Structure 1
Amino acid sequence: MIGRYVGSFCYQSYCLERPYLLLVIVPVFLSLLFLIYKNFIRFHDKAERKIFTKKKKWLRIFVLAARSIAFFMILAALALPFTTEETITHGEPIIRILSDNSRSMEIFDSELLEKARDKLGKEYSIELSQISSGTNSELGQGILSNIQGNDNLFIISDGNNIKGKKLLDVGMYTRVSNTRIFALDIEPERNDAYVTMKGPSEAIAGTPSRFTFTVEYVGSQPAFTLQVYIDDKLEFSGQNVFSKDIVKVLGEGYHKVSAKIIIDDYFSENNVFYKSVKAVPKPKVAFVSKKKSPLEEGIKSIYELKAMAELPPSLDKYHAVVLNDIPYSSLKNRIDDITGYLLDGGGIVFIGGRNSFDKGSYEGTLLESLLPVKIGTGKIIDPFKHNIVIVLDVSESFSDFSYKKGGSKTALDLGKGIAVKMIEQFRDDISVGLAAFAAYGQILSQPVELAGNRKMLSGIIERLGSGQGTSIDQGLIMAEAALEKVKGTKNVILISDGKMGHQELPHAPLRIAERMAGKGIKIYTVGLPSELYDVDVNRVLMTKLAQIGNGNYFEPNEYQYLNVFFGKPEAKDKVFFGNSNLAVMDRNHFITEDLSINSRITGLNFVIPKMGTRNLVYTGDGNPVLNSGRFGLGRIVTLATDDGTEWAGSLLTKENSLLLTRIINYAVGNPEKDKELYIDAGDGFLGEGNEIMVRSDKYPVSKQLTFAKQEENLYKALFTADEAGYYQFFDALVAINHHREYHKLGLNPELQDMAELSGGKMLDLDDEEIIEQIKTFSERKETARKDLKLYPLGIALAAFIIELIIRKIYEHKGSFVEVSKR
């Protein structure tokens, strides 16, 4: 198993750093055996040879043994033997109190610093430092700059970090610097409430948009009035409403959406929240269908829809084209137009039916080369034997950190549990192998049929240890090697947090994934969170690996969707929602994010996803229904069932219709991409500055802004607001809210995570045992490596000396046997 010292061999507290060098003793022993028993003297006859050999027998055995021991000890020394010793210290006898003087701290006791200094000063020498002030808290950087190593820090703060280094990154660094962090568990003494909102920054004019308004508070529960304004007109007013959803149909252009709470509390700055919303014109969509379609009726109110039986002469004036059950014969003369439209950034949706895909003669045509799918064979059940290698991350970020805030179990515990569940739920005829990786990879088991081997595989997983370092590529290499000679499909399930330091897209695992994909190996990834760094999962890398490997990325609560391909019937049934036979396999796509489907289709077209395709929705038989891909700048979506005429009528219900509108919205992309003057300006907060991007064929001129050219027809300006409210730039509206400092109040749970990560803890200033707790938690177990190579070298030297002495005695006395008899 992968142990504490990756690549080392340990027994109890004794280890060899290079154990493989001991294998050299085999050729050394054989060489000694040959040299010692080889007679280099010429004899007159066989009798003389026999007498000489008998006379030298015991001396040769002794010399062989002595030299073998000596050489073995030399090899043992070269293998770098060592042990570890632990000592306990308490760090420097000084406590450095770090105080946060940012504005969010004003709701707490103003005398915390004096109280802490008086109480801790009875036992420790005290040093004071200020780590933050004003409205832009940089706690992480402030703490980091005060770490000296082997020291104890006492933090007086609410832990609300606005910018700079993340608290968990600081906690990770303290493990290297051997610093203990203690923080006060404090409660607000003043009351304050604040309002925020969530909703789209862009919407389609004339269609409903949903906005959620939330009121949060610290201290006592407040009495207040929530008011919502849209374009300066009162939309809602209610007493003590902590959460409110409002659905509004907006006209074309920019709109102001504001939320306000009427209350007398500590901060007035956070009693109002501003948001700008851009409602774009209805996108122009060409709906090409040779028959009357129920889908047309459902979407004509959302888009500027033009229904037609043939492709229009010019595609450029449409933001998207929907091809509903169109055969290849109707498209073959327009392939060049379709290709050019996609290369220029257009979007096309292909909808199946009795005249499309496999039933529309797409196979082997130029049209098929544009699609994200190949045309299938019409077989529902995959006849091949499935082979899977489950690859587990056992690195430090996975094994040393909780997978959720405040949890006691690590990400490795969760990952091992999921792997065992997979082994329990996959079919008996599936062959499963195991691999693990930290800095290096290791094959734990070659693929074996689950029938009769579940207990063995589960036992390997449960006994799996942890290692140092992280190299995801090493785990993939091991999986690739384990699948090298198997027959049937080749699949890898990678269970990891995807973190390799701070690299978002490290090159090595991507390169290995591309090589594996070229060999027909599918890669599925399961992203498990760990509390290391400022992200729980590196979803960018995990999703990219799945895309390269023509598989899917799953969140921890979604791994059971793998049962669609590999699960027992009873495990597969649990995947589907209601009476549905459709499962969303990729929830990290615009179309399927936060989407539930309760739909049963009765027919489909058979397609096979190409490499790099996003596989979004599958049937219970493991057949792809919804896929997306890119061609040039364009977007292509394939829906391998019909428009609801015969097979997929339930997709048109109100419950499921969001899927179809998202498909078309994805194909539309940015409906304003062809405007002569396009402005991209997001909302922001005071003190942070905003980027104003303008795409224009002329240099933009503004009294408020100075633009710098970024690339052809693209200009950027920076804007810093003096006060909260709305600002107009050209025809664009930007909302600026008060500093983020006012919207992050109360004690941040990450403060406790950072303290515990360092080996410290949260403390109560009124606790009489606070000094004793600091002493207890400031204990450090320092592990020192003790080199042991002199011991085997001493034994080797002793063996050589003893051999030399015995040989000298033998030379002077005549024979070793005679010497021993005397």
Structure 2
Amino acid sequence: MVSFENPEMFWLIIPALIAGLYLLKKGTKKGLIISRIIVAILLITALASPFILVASVTSDDNPNIVIISDETESMEIFSNGSATDLYEALTAKTPTSIVRLTGDSTALGDAIIQYSTGDNQIVLVSDGNSNTGEDVETALQFAKEMGTTVYYVQPEVQYNDISVEIEGDKTVVRNNENQFNIIVTQAMDQEIKYTYSLYSDDTLISSRTITQTERTKTIPITQVKFSTLGAHTLRAEINPLSYDYDPINNEFYKAIYAIPKPKIRTIGLDVNSPLADILLNLYDVSRTGELANIDSRKAIIIDNTHANTFSESEVEEMKSFLNDGKGIVVVGGDSSYNFGDYLNSSIEEILPVRSEPTDWTGGRSIVLILDLSGSLGGGDVAVNESKSDMETHTISEVLSMANSIIDNEDLRDSDMAVVSFTDYVNDTSNGFVTLSNENDREKLMDTVSRLTAQLTDKSHLDDALSLAEEELNQKGGQSLVLIISDGGIGSDIYEDSVDIASRMHDNGVNFIFVHVYSTQNYQKDDDGNYYAELFISSIGQDTGYYHTEKDTFTVNIDFGTADEEQPDFEEDTDLGEFPLIELNSKHFITKNIDIEGSVTGYNDVTPKAGADRLIITSTGKPILTTWRYGLGRVAAVTTDNGLGGDNMWATELYSGNNSKLISSTVNWAIGNPVEESGAVVEAADTWYGTPTTIELTMYDEGIPTLKLDGETLDLSLTGTNVYEAVIEPEPIGMHDLSGYPVAVNYALEYRNMGLNEDMAALITANGGSIYTSVTEARSSIFEEAQDNSEKLVKESVSQKIYFLLAALIIFLGEVTIRRIKEIKEMKQQEKEIKPEI
């Protein structure tokens, strides 16, 4: 295809045509004028600098390699000299340079971006833990786009090291029970023993001896209370009873700021209900039942209230309340939602659900498994039902098909996880993504489009299926695994894959296998049967088996119809038990809660598009659904307050550990629990050597002043009555910010010791390879770098000469023809005037 460097030159054709048309009208030598017009157009085209792109494959027998050696302080637990040994081995074979990262912080992302030039390859020798600068994933994507391959060499861990951290809220309510988690991490996978001690304002509140075998262990500490307002300190210490390289990260401080109970307003609250017990105990509750004077309230709780209770003006008041950044929680029962005439009412406009029965069976969960290994890594796959005559497509079209599935409008009520596999398995989507959320859906499609195929010897479908099974076990409702693969399932992988898939299928998981035949690799057994087809037939007759459609390169998905009977509450509300399922465990409300038990009744509602389903019944009926309305937050609890009327639906929801769900829901609706009056300070705890930003909001008139450990800070106005300053307090320990506490802990460099377990997946997802030892890298990395130095180069070749030659030929041809005609005419004239002899 011909392109042009200066297409604006084509505007000159207009005056050339106008002049030509004028001369054609006035003149008689039409042939001459037409030829000159053509010559002029050809010359103008040449001025536009036409060119074509010619593709060629280039390779380099001596690729340029840059070794990035992480030699920061956290690397002291690894074997010394790994990068130097590798450098000495490579520099004898190919141009190699080494970059050493030192100091008390690690900026791997910055280093990768700095040395990704497109004409080189990077070898990263590091623990993979980056704690400053550009994100590593972003840096690897940049390197991939530049054409620089990044390899990861894992150094050997020689010494174990243990670190401790406290996880939990900084702002708490006075006298309320809180949960904090002590996180203990070790550098190696081995058994260790230690004693932890947790102090609250120097008073020991918890201590125990722990035996730990996993890399990271979470120790929950519950029922922690603070009886006075203001600053408090939590301090965790671990005393290792096993070997520990450096004690610098064995102590952790957490600043706590206790505030008065947040003010909330309730409407229709039954004071004898379990819901009332929770609210009255944890919050400053106003029970006027009116929507007047709610400006000072953080949230409104509506309990089992009919739609006709609210006038249009009151609903508008609630909308304004939400737009101020506050929250509303609506609790169900026999007088609300579908029993309270909410359908199409004004109150329903702010809710994340519609009060009509849903035919959605709940928790539609899809795991999309993408095979990016083996023959697919070669770039071409075949898409035709005839194995003997196949039309080839590039891997980008396979990813395009995956994205068309993600963007399928019929799946908007589903959650999807994307898992890709080569000889490694990558949780590409980092868990499930709600497809009804446009931003999340587009972000997932962008992530998939950046994937690349890998030339590897094995493709671990079995590991990919294990990850899919693990993720689906945490979900409810209908489940589907959709596999896009060339069927390159090796004999050593095949049996394990069938066992896992069969177990999943027996547990109700449906399968669709999209078989894209590879032009390079057909995996068959001894009888000549394709492993892909054997895989499908082994799972069961209900499993879908699809070829991609030749022209559209797409696949149709059908969950089928569910035979679920819809409950009729008008006839009987006592329908037995409906077990509760936590559908989204990563939300603020549910992240630290393990839901157990059942409800015996619920309001039958349908989640709106964009709503987040958190808790459902085993039949898929929503129990807790949330969304954002303007700047505010709305939660729909579609079961009763635990007491009910003639039937008590949700007594188990308000008992034991489940009761935390209600307080978490109200806390989420409240958002910021700090009272908006006077001067309000917010500042995150930080790490030694890491600055943190503080924010001061002045709700009352006055001069903004803040002092850090007695020293006045310089504040900058960043918004209406909002001031900011950046601080870097020293030393490690607690610091006072005009009465607000700020904790400084050990340097971030010592937080994550040992190898980063996520690094391998990031490297392979962006086209790189993993070497688990320096010895392996020394023997193989040079040859792989040579193979990866082969690049498809597109060079522009000018086509200007052809247009100039065409113009010259036409011009000379026209002149020659005209000259020949003139000579003939002259000779004819000579004959006519020559006298007779």
TM bucket, shorter chain: 0.5 to 0.7
Matched, 1:135 2:104: yes
2:71 matched residue in structure 1: 101
Contact kept, 8 Å, 1:136 with 1:162, in 2: the verdict is: yes
Distance across 2 between alignment mates of 1:731 and 1:492 = 41
Distance across 2 between alignment mates of 1:628 and 1:560 = 23
Moved more, 667-676 or 336-345: 336-345
- The alpha-carbon distance between structure 1 residues 414 and 201, as it changes in their structure 2 partners (threshold 3 A), is farther
- The alpha-carbon distance between structure 1 residues 228 and 615, as it changes in their structure 2 partners (threshold 3 A), is same
Aligned partner of 1:724: which letter?
I
Distance across 2 between alignment mates of 1:306 and 1:567 = 50
Matched, 1:686 2:656: no
Deviation at 1:606, TM superposition (A): 9.1
Matched, 1:794 2:805: yes
Matched, 1:654 2:625: no
Deviation at 1:256, TM superposition (A): 0.7
Contact kept, 8 Å, 2:353 with 2:625, in 1: the verdict is: no
Distance across 1 between alignment mates of 2:817 and 2:479 = 74
Matched, 1:304 2:315: no
Matched, 1:260 2:233: no
* Correspondence 1:140-539 to 2 at 5 A: 140-142=109-111, 144-145=113-114, 150-151=119-120, 154-174=123-143, 184-219=153-188, 221-231=190-200, 232-233=203-204, 235-241=206-212, 242=214, 243-252=217-226, 253=228, 254-262=232-240, 263-289=242-268, 294=273, 296-297=275-276, 299-300=278-279, 302-304=281-283, 306=285, 308=287, 310-311=289-290, 314-315=293-294, 318-324=297-303, 325-326=305-306, 328=308, 347-351=327-331, 372=350, 413=398, 416-417=401-402, 419-420=404-405, 497-498=442-443, 528=447
2:794 matched residue in structure 1: 783
1:671 matched residue in structure 2: 673
1:708 matched residue in structure 2: 714
Q: Secondary structure at the match of 1:708?
A: coil
- The alpha-carbon distance between structure 1 residues 318 and 753, as it changes in their structure 2 partners (threshold 3 A), is closer
2:519 matched residue in structure 1: none
Q: Secondary structure at the match of 1:746?
A: coil
Contact kept, 8 Å, 1:196 with 1:259, in 2: the verdict is: no
Contact kept, 8 Å, 1:358 with 1:607, in 2: the verdict is: no
Aligned residues, how many? 637
Deviation at 1:271, TM superposition (A): 2.7
Deviation at 1:757, TM superposition (A): 4.8
- Unaligned segments of structure 2, at least 5 residues: 360-375, 380-393, 414-435, 452-473, 481-555, 567-575, 826-837
Q: Secondary structure at the match of 2:179?
A: strand
Deviation at 1:685, TM superposition (A): 1.1
Deviation at 1:118, TM superposition (A): 3.7
Residue number among 734, 738, 755 corresponding to 2:742 in the alignment:
734
Contact kept, 8 Å, 2:160 with 2:243, in 1: the verdict is: no
Deviations 1:441-498 (A, max 9, x none): xxxxxxxxxxxxxxxxxxxxxxxxxxxxxxxxxxxxxxxxxxxxxxxxxx99788654
Contact kept, 8 Å, 1:349 with 1:638, in 2: the verdict is: yes
Moved more, 157-166 or 801-810: 801-810
Distance across 1 between alignment mates of 2:297 and 2:253 = 34
Distance across 2 between alignment mates of 1:416 and 1:595 = 37
- Tell me how large the CA RMSD over aligned residues is: 6.1
Distance across 1 between alignment mates of 2:46 and 2:582 = 57
Contact kept, 8 Å, 1:415 with 1:528, in 2: the verdict is: no
Aligned partner of 1:135: which letter?
D
Distance across 1 between alignment mates of 2:612 and 2:187 = 44
Residue number among 716, 728, 733 corresponding to 1:720 in the alignment:
728
Deviations 1:115-144 (A, max 9, x none): 3454334345665543x2221123343455
Distance across 1 between alignment mates of 2:269 and 2:478 = 40
Identity among equivalent pairs (%): 20
Deviations 1:193-228 (A, max 9, x none): 333443333444555543333433334625321414
Residue number among 70, 75, 84 corresponding to 2:54 in the alignment:
84
Distance across 2 between alignment mates of 1:747 and 1:206 = 41
Contact kept, 8 Å, 1:117 with 1:126, in 2: the verdict is: yes
Deviations 1:546-585 (A, max 9, x none): xxxxxxxxxx9999999xxx996736789x9x98799999
Deviation at 1:682, TM superposition (A): 2.0
1:442 matched residue in structure 2: none
Contact kept, 8 Å, 2:162 with 2:249, in 1: the verdict is: yes
Contact kept, 8 Å, 2:110 with 2:134, in 1: the verdict is: yes
- The alpha-carbon distance between structure 1 residues 270 and 586, as it changes in their structure 2 partners (threshold 3 A), is closer
Deviation at 1:162, TM superposition (A): 1.9
Deviation at 1:103, TM superposition (A): 0.8
2:80 matched residue in structure 1: 110
Q: Secondary structure at the match of 1:190?
A: coil
2:466 matched residue in structure 1: none
- The alpha-carbon distance between structure 1 residues 650 and 124, as it changes in their structure 2 partners (threshold 3 A), is same
2:456 matched residue in structure 1: none
Moved more, 411-420 or 784-793: 411-420
Q: Secondary structure at the match of 2:560?
A: helix
Deviation at 1:302, TM superposition (A): 4.5
Q: Secondary structure at the match of 2:159?
A: coil
- The alpha-carbon distance between structure 1 residues 265 and 604, as it changes in their structure 2 partners (threshold 3 A), is closer
Aligned partner of 1:260: which letter?
I
Contact kept, 8 Å, 1:89 with 1:782, in 2: the verdict is: no
- The alpha-carbon distance between structure 1 residues 753 and 717, as it changes in their structure 2 partners (threshold 3 A), is closer
Aligned partner of 2:560: which letter?
E
Distance across 2 between alignment mates of 1:80 and 1:492 = 45
Deviation at 1:530, TM superposition (A): 6.8
Distance across 2 between alignment mates of 1:583 and 1:69 = 77
